[in-house]
Structure 1
Amino acid sequence: MPPRYRYEEIADDLQQRIKAGEFPPGSRLPSRREMIARYEVTEPVIDRAMQILRIKEITETLPGVGVFVRDDPGA
């Protein structure tokens, strides 16, 4: 199995936490600053992880407001 990028691991972790109900539909994910501290990575790494979740239609971003779990994550 090839090595995984840190942003992929973070996206997978967040996706699992969403599926487990830690972040239910409609809830706001932690801020970029909070995620940088939690995962001990740089801002571009968090941005890539958020991009993956957005592409998978798990989250949606409201500029200036935050990142939210979609009402139908992954549908």
Structure 2
Amino acid sequence: MPPRYRYEEIADDLQKRIAAGEFPPGSRLPSRRELIAHYEVTEPVIDRAMQILRVKEITETLPGVGVFVREQ
């Protein structure tokens, strides 16, 4: 199995946390700054993880407001 990028691991972790109900549909995810501190990574890594969740249609971003879990 090839090594995984950190942003993939973070996206998977957030997806599991969403599935477990930690972030229910309609809820706002932690801010970029909070995620950077929690995962101890840089801003581009968090941005890439957020992009994965958006492409999978798990989250939606409201500019200037935040990232929210989509209603399924």
TM-score range, shorter chain: over 0.9
Give aligned pairs, total.
Answer: 72
Q: How far apart are 1:8 and its partner, in Å? A: 0.1
Shift of 1:31: 0.1
With structure 2 as the length reference, what TM-score do the two structures score?
Answer: 1.00
- Per-residue deviation at 1:18? 0.2
The superposition leaves residues 24-69 of structure 1 with CA deviations (integer Å, 9 ceiling, x where unpaired) of 0000000000000000000000000000000000000000000000
Shift of 1:21: 0.1
RMSD of Structure 2 on Structure 1 (CA):
0.2
Unaligned runs of 5+ in 2: none
Percent identity over the alignment? 90
Q: For 1:71 and 1:60, how far apart are their aligned partners in 2?
A: 10
Q: Secondary structure at the match of 2:64?
A: coil
Distance in 1, Cα, partners of 2:53 & 2:32:
14
